[in-house]
Amino acid sequence: MSANKESWGSRVGLILAMAGNAVGLGNFLRFPVQAVQNGGGAFIIPYLVCFLVMGIPLLWIEWSMGRFGGKFGHHSTPFILDTMDKRRFWKYIGVFGVWTNIAVAAYYCYLESWTLSYMMHSILGSFNGLDQNGVAEFFNHYVDLDTSTTGIPYEPIVFFVICLLLNTWILSKGLAAGVERVAKIGMPLLILFGAFLAYKGFTVTAGEQGAINDSSVGLNFLWTPNYDQLWSPSVWLAAAGQIFFTLSVGMGTVHCYASYVRSKDDIALNAMSAGWMNEFVEVVLGGAIIIPISIGYLGIDRVTELVQLGGLGLGFKTLPYLFAQWGPALSAIAGVMWFGLLFFAGITSSLAMGTPWMGFLQDEFNWRRKSAAWSFGLIVFLLGMPTVLFFNYGVFDEYDYWAGTVSLVVFALLESILFAWVFGMDKGWREITSGADIKVPGIYKFIIKYVTPLLLLWVFVGSLVTPKGGDWGAALSGNWVLDDSSIIKKLMNSSLKQQLAAATDPAQIAQLEDTLFFVNASRILLAAVFVGIALLVYVAYKKRVREGKI
């Protein structure tokens, strides 16, 4: 008999936990940068379209699949998918829903641990007196494991372990007493902290506390539409990609959470509530902090340079310096709130990543909750340490690309085909609408069957063969040269090999050769973990056959 007796304590707790799963670091670090890079205010048009025709359908698909599998006592994607079609390969497709979470947690918990460290340094005033370059160097020293700046031996490792222990301990408490309780505390605090910082972002005034621009300059920079980019396929691909990041679909976490919902409980309104709460946090709060504050103090030209470095360049390398302009007391408060909201955004997501693995062990091998939780912590520690030790050799980025980007699209595409075309849209629609507290628009039956899979296929193909410079016009006219950001070129390590061929400095050559080694090694390690989980699924399947459960 399965040791899995978990359940949600309340509907509010479930919605907050689901919203916490979706609301992550990307809401505050990635979304503003994506908007700036892809047409500003015009980006919101493809973004909202993708949310309506891909995001919401995938939420309903995954909630429905999870609740359906839960009726049969399954709480992880391999056997949730197995309940929907008995052809054996589907359970191995479901491995993505366990593997992705472990692989993403391995680097995500490291990123999450930075927020704990930076909260401490905000309180200690470590950033006071540093200019913007000094704060950036602080970050560089931190990921280099250099103690000359932080003063704590191996500080990144210490905080990574602390973060993992905290995640594991909460997971060991279960859904209601652990995950749900954290969501009930963390989500309101996240919104409270975000509202305060958004207020500060809206009230930046030129000439006060060193600001050179009013907040309106930053808000206009972020939201002024550049309609020339609206028709670019690259912008639409970026919008679709952001939806994956922001909703945590294509991972297996939603399936797992929904599998603990009672068979007649609503999922349609629950999914919408969690999805729209995430959108509010991302668009309203996420769009009102980083960019307006940064432009207020640094100007558009400098921020344009920093945007090319992504959210980390602004969130960790810039904002601590800007907060210091507000004086020691307010700087400490703002730092704790900024990195605190990032921490709550991170931990509510990383906790979700532990539940599919735990559900699998509890269902299939009768592991107790605590043992399953600590096994997750140990695996993430072992898989995550290379991202800590070899951050500057591209290991972190490789994990993020293959586990946190490519696999999401692949799995989402396959599960949408399973739901709409194999399980069947009629049965799928009954699952979505059963017990629904809202009337689900009938048009979504068509969207889920046709539009969502085709859009996902377009996202995957577009990522697979992205043309050089994102110039789709030239590509479609017959001059198709693959960009280094395409999946094919990534697999070939084209960018690294070009840099290596052009390098003349021995030190740079050695650095690039080491990076190439660690990049390939990290891919092999990720593949080995996937194969290992697939073997466990095979063992679990054979165990079920022996016990007469299949």
Q: What is the pLDDT of residues 193-236, one digit of tens each?
A: 999 999 999 999 999 988 999 999 989 988 888 888 887 788 88
Query: Dihedral of the CA atoms 134, 137, 143, 144 (nearest 10)?
Result: -130
* Domain membership flag for residue 93: yes
- CA 241/CA 231 separation, integer angstroms: 16
Residue 180 confidence (pLDDT): 94
**Residue 398 falls inside a structural domain:** yes
Give pLDDT, residue 148. 59
Q: Give me the tens of pLDDT residue by residue for the chain, a chain 550 residues long.
A: 566 777 788 888 888 989 889 899 989 998 988 888 888 888 889 999 999 999 999 999 999 999 999 999 999 999 999 999 989 999 999 999 999 999 999 999 999 999 999 999 999 999 999 998 999 999 988 998 876 566 678 899 999 999 999 999 999 999 988 999 999 999 999 999 999 999 999 999 999 988 999 999 989 988 888 888 887 788 888 888 888 888 989 999 999 999 999 888 999 999 999 999 999 999 999 999 999 999 999 998 888 888 877 777 889 999 999 999 999 999 999 999 999 999 999 999 999 999 999 999 999 999 999 999 999 999 999 999 999 999 999 999 999 999 998 999 999 999 999 999 999 999 999 999 999 999 999 999 999 999 999 999 998 998 899 898 888 888 888 888 999 989 999 999 999 999 999 999 999 999 999 999 999 999 999 999 999 999 999 999 999 999 887 7
CA 97 to centroid of chain Cα atoms? 14
Predicted pLDDT of residue 228: 81
Cα–Cα distance list, 129 to 140, 159, 276 (Å)? 17, 24, 40
For position 149, which CATH number holds?
1.20.1740
Q: How many domains does the chain have?
A: 1
Q: What pTM was estimated for this model as a whole?
A: 0.94
Q: Specify the pLDDT at position 189.
A: 95
SS3 345: helix
Are the beta carbons of 12 and 271 closer than 8 angstroms? no
Whether residue 324 lies inside any domain: the answer is yes
Whole-angstrom CA distances from 233 to 35, 230, 468, 475, 516 are 15, 8, 13, 11, 31
What's at 220, amino acid-wise? N
537: tokens are 């699924």
Residues in the chain: 550
In a domain, 5, yes or no: no
What's the domain range around 205? 11-546
Question: What's the pLDDT score for residue 196?
Answer: 96
Question: So what's the pLDDT on residue 106?
Answer: 97
Strand partners, 482: 467
Going by C-alpha positions, the residue among 107, 94, 89 that lies closest to residue 25 is: 107
494 touches 484 (CB < 8 A) = yes
**Distant-in-sequence, close-in-space partners of 131: CB < 8 Å, separation ≥ 6:** 321
DSSP 283: I
Q: Residue 56: which of 492, 448, 497 has the closest Cα?
A: 448
Residue 39's pLDDT is what? 80
- Nearest Cα neighbor of 288 from 363, 373, 222 is 222
In a domain, 2, yes or no: no
Examine residue 278 and state whether it is found in any structural domain, yes or no.
yes
Q: How far apart are CA 545 and CA 539, in angstroms?
A: 10
Residue 193 maps to a domain: yes
- Whole-number Å distance between alpha carbons of 34 and 283: 12
DSSP letter assigned to residue 230 = T
